[in-house]
Amino acid sequence: MIDYTGSRARRKTAHYLFVLLIWVICLTYFFPILYMFITSLKHETDVVPPKLFFTPTLENYRTVLLSSDIVSHIVNSAIITLSSMVLCIFLGVPTAYAIVFGKLKKPDSLFFWFLSTTLLPPVAVIIPVFLIFKNLHLLDTRWGMIIMYVGANVPIVIWMVRSFLKDIPAELLEAADIDGATRIRSFFKIVLPLARSGIISSALLVFIFVWNEFFFAINLTYVNASPIPVYMASYMTQEGLFWAKLSAISTVTVLPPLILGWISHKSIVRGLMMGAVKG
Amino acid sequence: MSTRDRRKRDPVNAFAIPAVVIVALVTQVPLIVTLILSAIKWIIVRPDLGIRFIGLENYLGVFKDAEFYMVIINTIVLTVVSLAGCTVLGLALALLLNRKFVGINIARTLMIAPFFVMDAVVGIVWKTLMLHPSFGINGMIAGWLHIKPIDFLGNHSMATIIMLVIWQWTPFFVLVLLSGFESISEEILDSARVDGAGIWRTIFQIKIPAIASHIEVAVMLGLIFILKVFGIIYVTTSGGPGISSTNLPYLVYRTGFFRWDVGRATAMAVITVILTLVAVTAFFRFTRRKTSEVES
């Protein structure tokens, strides 16, 4: 006879062992971020060398958030990121609409052209962009950065939103045509609401990409327009040993994309997969 | 009214114009200028040398440079090893996380976090808090074990960069692969169970083949992004010691913005573009062939 109770007990033990293993792995994986946060709560004297037990303090955060220097870089990041995100949506969604429902001669080749630009490594454009920006006085300006980020990220919006639009049956728009609605009106009345989740997840992805971007930022900005990653890289070389403050800035900087990512990772992945499967 | 007229009149077509203009301005125009500059001798910090057309001389100079081959090898090693690591680790972790228990969502949340952390912070946190030989976790563990701490960034720079890239990118693989595993229907798994397939056979012959398209997407996007790794290298090793952790993007950056050798840097950039296209095309061919083999 098979000992059902025994095997069930064994299976249960295995399950709990798995759960334990998962927690150990996930906590270990997350540890650098957790440790960064813990360090940000320490006094500098408790950081180097690291002490296990310490009285937590919010002083580092106060220093960071009261430093007009740091705040101005965070403001730069926020303005550049939000503007780029909004412009990407304003330019990308109508383009996806034109590709799917417009009467373009070759909608697919236009789409693949957009897609191919995402393959272009940033180093392929950086030197001309630097020289052009220098002559147009766009170096170290927020506008310059916004132009770069919109150009680089619009294809992502087009890619993700197109796959959502393809799910909208053409009959729905044809019916609207007969009802006398213009195609521009049906864009606002029918297409936008139906593609909303795709638009939002692509917008969040653009936010995360732009907020975290480093290569263009470090090469095209110096002081005035530089977003927070550039400031952090220079802080690291100049005042590299103030680890508690460094951790506090890092924590503040990492938080916006991290929270957005935690909220939206499922819809982002769904959007990516839809975009990829529908080629 | 001919189709041509109607096509012209459809106002929706005009929707695409602004995006085409800005993408062309930011990607196509500079790329063409890069091609032109790569045929020119122009070192910004040496105005005395002047600017003149030299044809393919920049490319010849690049190809005669032993350093350049080292950097290409570095780039290939960094990309291939990181992608392999991300795929294997990503599959294992996604399989582990593909089960239900109280708190699984929190565990997953912790797991995917590093993907949303910016390169600059990844570099800073690992260089200081984690790997610093005296004051990092590295030094602490070495102290407990009474051994000399490993100088990760000094003696094993490329391996350490690869480790950081894998740490940052595996969560992306987990996200994509996990969504694949979750989309496998229960019926398939049930019938496998009825057929008496063991755990390993279920994993390797049913689950992993079922998410082939997810694996492709993850590797493809990973390939595009890992080829242009820059921020982590900039913050941790600056490509050193020597050129041991320099990849192509970092070499172009150094040539362009430290030596201000515009011609040489743009020639390297063109070679980077060609290598990227070769890698992506090769990957496409490989996956298409495999798909058609499965179908036939």
Owning domain of residue A147: 68-277
Q: What percent of chain A has pLDDT over 90?
A: 51
| pLDDT band, residue A173 (cuts 50/70/90) | confident
CB contact under 8 A, A50 and B227: no
Number of domains composing chain A:
2
Q: Does A261 touch chain B (CB under 8 A)?
A: yes
Q: Which CATH architecture has domain B62-295?
A: Orthogonal Bundle (1.10)
In the prediction, which pLDDT does B174 show?
Answer: 96
Q: Higher model confidence: residue A177 or residue B206?
A: B206
Instruction: Quote the CA–CA distance of B178 and B221 in Å, as a whole number.
Output: 16
**What is the pLDDT at residue B12?**
77
Chain B (62-91) residues lying within 8 Å, Cβ to Cβ, of chain A: none
Q: Is residue A61 one of the residues assigned to a domain?
A: no
A159 & A32 share domain: no
CB contact under 8 A, B96 and A270: no
The DSSP 8-state label assigned to residue B107 in this structure reads H
Smallest CA–CA distance, residue A254 to chain B, in Å, is 6
Tokens found for residue B225: 């992004």
Biggest CA pair distance of chain B: 86
Closest CA to B124 of A68, A207, A33: A33
How far apart (Å, rounded) are the C-alpha atoms in residues B233 and B75?
Answer: 12
Residue type, A56: P
* B34 contact partners, CB below 8 Å, separation of at least 6: A124, A125, A127, A128, B266, B269, B270
Reported as a single tens digit per residue, the pLDDT across A240-253 is 678 888 999 999 99
Domain check: are A195 and A147 in the same one? yes
What are the structural domain ranges in chain B?
A: 62-295
In a domain, A207, yes or no: yes
A73 shares a domain with A35: no
Q: A158 with A103, same domain?
A: yes
Q: Nearest 5°: CA angle at B43, between B42 and B48?
A: 95
Q: Which of A177-181, A201-205, B6-10, B161-165 has the lowest mean pLDDT?
A: B6-10
Q: Does B21 touch chain A (CB under 8 A)?
A: no
> Do A270 and A136 share a structural domain?
yes
Residues with Cβ within 8 Å of B228's Cβ and at least 6 positions away in sequence, in order, are: A121, A122, A123, A215, B249
Please name which of A157, A207, A228 lies closest in space to residue B119, comparing C-alpha atoms.
A228
Q: pLDDT, tens digit, for every residue of A66-76?
A: 988 899 999 99
Segment 191-230 of chain A within 8 Å of chain B by CB: 208, 211-212, 214-215, 218-219, 229-230
Answer yes or no: do B7 and A103 touch at CB < 8 A.
yes
Please tell me the distance in Å from B22's CA to the nearest CA on chain A: 5
The answer to whether position A159 is within a domain reads: yes
pLDDT in tens, A91-149: 999 999 989 888 888 888 899 999 889 889 999 999 999 999 999 999 999 999 999 99
* CB within 8 Å: B116 and A208: yes
Q: Do A128 and B29 touch (CB under 8 A)?
A: yes
Q: Are residues A176 and A253 in the same domain?
A: yes
| Partner residue facing B110 (CB), from A26, A47, A214 | A26
Distance CA A62, CA B80 (A): 43
Report the alpha-carbon angle A158-B228-A202, nearest 5: 25
Residue B293's pLDDT is 58
pLDDT of residue B254: 93
What is the residue-averaged pLDDT of chain A? 88
Q: Calculate the CA A223 to chain-centre distance.
A: 23
Using the Cβ of A78 and the Cβ atoms of chain B, whether some distance falls under 8 Å is answered with: no
Is A48 a domain residue? no
With CA atoms as reference, the chain B residue closest to A218 would be B231
CATH number at residue A164: 1.10.3720.10
* Dist CA B4 CA A50 (whole Å): 73
Buried/exposed A84-93: b ≥16 CB within 10 Å, e otherwise: bbebbbebbb
Asked casually if ipTM beats, i.e. exceeds, 0.85, the reply is yes
B34 closest CB neighbour out of A99, A124, A214 = A124
Q: Do the beta carbons of residue A26 and residue B96 sit within 8 Å? A: no
Residues with Cβ within 8 Å of residue A58, at least 6 apart in sequence: A41
Query: Which member of B29, B99, B113 has the closest CB to residue A258?
Result: B113
Give the Cα separation of B233 and B123 in Å (integer).
8
pLDDT tens, residue order, chain B (296 aa): 444 444 455 777 888 899 999 999 999 999 999 999 998 888 888 888 878 888 888 899 889 999 999 999 999 999 999 999 999 999 999 999 998 888 889 999 999 999 999 999 999 999 988 998 888 889 889 989 999 888 888 889 999 999 999 999 999 999 999 999 998 888 888 888 888 878 888 888 888 988 998 999 899 999 999 999 999 999 999 888 989 999 999 999 999 998 898 999 999 999 999 999 999 999 988 887 666 555 44
The conformational region for residue A169 under phi > 0 = left, psi -120 to 50 = alpha, else beta, is beta
Number of H helices, E strands in chain A: 14, 0
Angle of the B262-295 helix axis to the B66-97 helix axis, nearest 10: 40
CB A98 within 8 A of CB B15: yes
Nearest-angstrom CA–CA distance, A159 and A275: 6
